[in-house]
Every structure is written in structure tokens, then in C-alpha cells.
Amino acid sequence: MNKVILSLFFVATILHGMEEEGLYLVVGSVRESNIKKTFPVQHFWQEEKADFSLRNAYPGKETISMDLKESLIPGVKHIIGDASTYQFGKNTIQAVYLERLPTTGLCQVNQGMQPIAMEHNYLGKCIQNIGSAMKQGAEMEIEWHPYINLYKENSKNIKSLYDEDKIKENPFTVTLNVELAIIATEMACLSSLACDVTKHFPQNFLNCASTLSEKIKQLICFYEKENMGTKVLLNKRLAQEVWLFRQFLQTGDQALLSCGPSASLEEFSKAIECFPFIPVQDSSSAGAFLAVEKNGKLFIGTLYDKSRFLGESFLYFILCDASIEHNSSYVKGFMENNNFKDVIIKRTTSLRNGRKNVWIIKGVKA
């Protein structure tokens, strides 16, 4: 009997044995954190204090984990499969926790998984498929951290802060104009910008940027209370990242950084003081570790393009966080349209893995 058949037999036995009681399922888990203990999440989510073994995810119940990869803990009940298409038995799921699933379509690239087709509502597909197998009264919890679709559009055409049509297609993903995101962040972290920026942009655009800027300022205060760093240092980090991100957009070059944006506030601040830009045609792909001599000085580090840099950045993190409340009404509507009631969305501590300060969507199968 080959390995695939054995795996299918094992899963079928799990599902049959627990069907009457109902499955207690955690989707998107290999029973270990897939998040590196880096800035800003190491302090904010307190990963080191969380428990990803899932042994106490549902006290008194045996938890089954599920992921596209094998469990990193041997001997536990685990399903290898895609939650958006997997065929669960009808009325078999009593409770389910979706742990940080992608909110868009993904594709495999050399450096890992890369978001594609931002309108493709992958998380929504998982909710629909899993929901169809849930018992009435069963509870779904979703640890939600949205992806962001930054699009280009002339500032004269910007009438609202977010692209409402795109968010209706995929409410779990943030769709935001890139120039608006940059200006709003600069308005929040650079007080000297406020007077100059009004000369160059139409009033509707500035109104939207001001709204987002105020939200970013509120979050900076909140992050300071959660020991991510002082307001001065957090604003400095945002200003540094926005400056570099602008260079990426304007030149198309890549940057060779000794420490990337997931490094600590102090480490990144030192790294950005002196580094070379590398023309794309003269370099390897982003993510490569290189040693380059330029102007008589040797630079050693990792090569970043705009996408790789943005994905690891504090800028990306805070834009996600600042946009969740806006998208929440669309998310609630999606859940209710897919037979969930009593839907709530709040920042809290996860009861299933112990992560702090995460956004949880909770609903009951109607």
C-alpha cells in the first residue's frame, strides 16, 4: 500500500471516528508558527508565548490540524489538503479555527509563495467550503490579517479612500491607491510634510489621505503602549521605509541591505544609512545574498526589490491594520450571506494559539 493511499485511509478513519461528535479543526496549521520572530510581530503578537501545538486549542477535545504541508509534530491527527476544495463530510465540523490563511490567490515562485489575482477571494472560498460541512450552531473563528493590493491611479480620479468595488469582490483583502498610501503615511510620520503636500494634490485625494493618516497616528500610539517602540522610533522607521519604497517605485532598482525591514528598529536604521542601489539588469533575483563592491567599499546583504521589501515592511503591516475596520462591514456581510450569524470582529488574544493583539472574525453557523 503506497504512502498516498495510507494517508487517505488515515484521514478517512479520523473523519469517520469523530463524525458523530463533530470535528474540532484548525486550518492553516502545521502545529508550529510560520511567522519569524521579527519586527514588528515579535513584540506585538508575542509569538514566543503562544502555543501552536494545538494540544489545548479546544480544551477537553481532540483537535485535528490541516494544512497543505505535513504536521511538524509526529503522531497527531492532521489532514493534508486545500481547505477551499477539500471534501469534508456533511455536518461533521463542530468548531473550526482558520489560522492566518492567505486572502488572495497565490502562486509558487523561486523565493516561495507570491500573491496573484488580488480579486480571487481565497479565504472566502475556504469559509464557504468549510461552512457547508459545519453543524448548525457550530462556531467558526478566523485569525484575519489581510493582504494589500496597492494599485496605481491618477490622484485626480481618487474619490474614496479604498476601491469599494474591489473590496466587494474580496472583502478580506485591502485595495488601496499606492500614492494615497504613501502620502497618508508621510503625513502621519513627518510633521513637516503637512503644508507642502496640499500644493500638489486635489482636495478629495487629500481628504482621503488625511483620514488614513489619522488612523495611522492612532495606531502608532497603540503600538507604543504595546512595547513595539517609542513613537519617535516608530515614526522614524515609517519615514525610512516610505523613502526607500519611493526609490523603488521611481527607479526600478533593487537595494542591497545588510538588514531588511523585518529587523529591529535599531538594526534597520543602521542598515539604511549606507547601502547600494543595484540596477536590475546587473543583479540576481530579489532575495539573493550578495557581496558587492561599489565605490571602493564592500557591501554584503540581501537584495530587495519593491515587492519583497513591502511584504516584510512595517509600512505594509500598519496599512493592513489601519484598513481592517473599513473592510469589516464587508466581511460581516460576506459571512451573513454564507449562513453565519452573530458575526463579530475584534482585536483580541486568540483562544486557540495564544497570539496577542490579533483580529478575530467569529460567527455561528445558522
What's the predicted TM-score (pTM) here?
A: 0.89
Task: Name which of 100, 121, 148 is nearest 319 in CA terms.
Answer: 148
- Residue 4's pLDDT is 42
Q: How far apart are CA 215 and CA 311, in angstroms?
A: 20
CB 301 within 8 A of CB 283: no
Task: Name which of 297, 303, 247, 299 is nearest 280 in CA terms.
Answer: 303
Which position has the grid cell 481547505? 83
- Residue 38's pLDDT is 87
Q: Return residue ranges of the chain for CATH 3.40.50.150.
A: 3-147+325-365
Q: For the chain, what's the residue count?
A: 366
- Residue 327's pLDDT is 97
Calculated CA dihedral for residues 67, 69, 74, 75, nearest 10 degrees: 50
CB 276 within 8 A of CB 208: no
What count of other Cβ atoms lies within 10 Å of the Cβ of residue 203? Answer: 8
Which option is the CATH number for 3-147+325-365: 3.40.50.300, 3.40.50.150, 3.40.50.10800, 3.90.1150.10? 3.40.50.150
Q: How far apart are CA 308 and CA 305, in angstroms?
A: 6
Helix then strand count (H, E) for the chain reads 11, 15
Q: What does the pLDDT profile of the chain (366 residues) look like in tens digits? A: 444 444 444 455 555 544 556 899 999 999 998 777 789 988 899 988 999 999 999 999 999 999 999 999 999 999 999 999 999 999 999 999 999 999 987 544 444 444 555 558 999 999 999 999 999 999 999 999 999 999 999 999 999 999 999 999 999 999 999 999 999 999 999 876 655 666 789 999 999 999 999 999 999 999 999 999 999 999 999 999 999 999 999 999 999 999 999 999 999 999 999 999 998 865 557 889 999 998 889 999 999 999 999 999 999 999 999 999 999 999 999 999 999 999 999 999 999 999 999 999 999 999
